[in-house]
Amino acid sequence: MAQIIPFPADAEEPELEALSREALLALAQELREKLAELDAREPEDIPVGEVLRLTEGSISPVACLDSSPNECPRCTDCLTLPVWQGLERVINEYLDGVSLRDVLDGNVK
């Protein structure tokens, strides 16, 4: 069995062509494990936001919100940062308030 080599969570989104076979296997294994965790739960206990973050990675509206603490060198002077933070909060609250059961039953508002 191939050794699992973790891919750093804070790394830039990789080009699949540039990844080694081992790194691809590690990414696939990590995804399988996370999907197995979801599969063990009932649809009403799985927020859509969790699924999106698992499959898409960050769902932040701007890249500077992808890391915590914010590593952008301009974040202390950024006038629009509070707007993006508010939008991110609204997006996450909404998506985390909708379950897979809501989607399956057509109860999404």
Q: Is the dihedral of CA 103, 37, 56, 24 positive or negative?
A: negative
- Cβ neighbors of 16 (< 8 A, separation 6 or more) are 24
Along the 109 residues of the chain, how does pLDDT read in single tens digits?
344 444 455 555 555 556 677 877 787 788 788 888 888 889 999 999 999 998 888 899 999 999 889 999 999 999 999 999 999 999 999 999 999 999 999 999 8
Q: pTM here?
A: 0.68
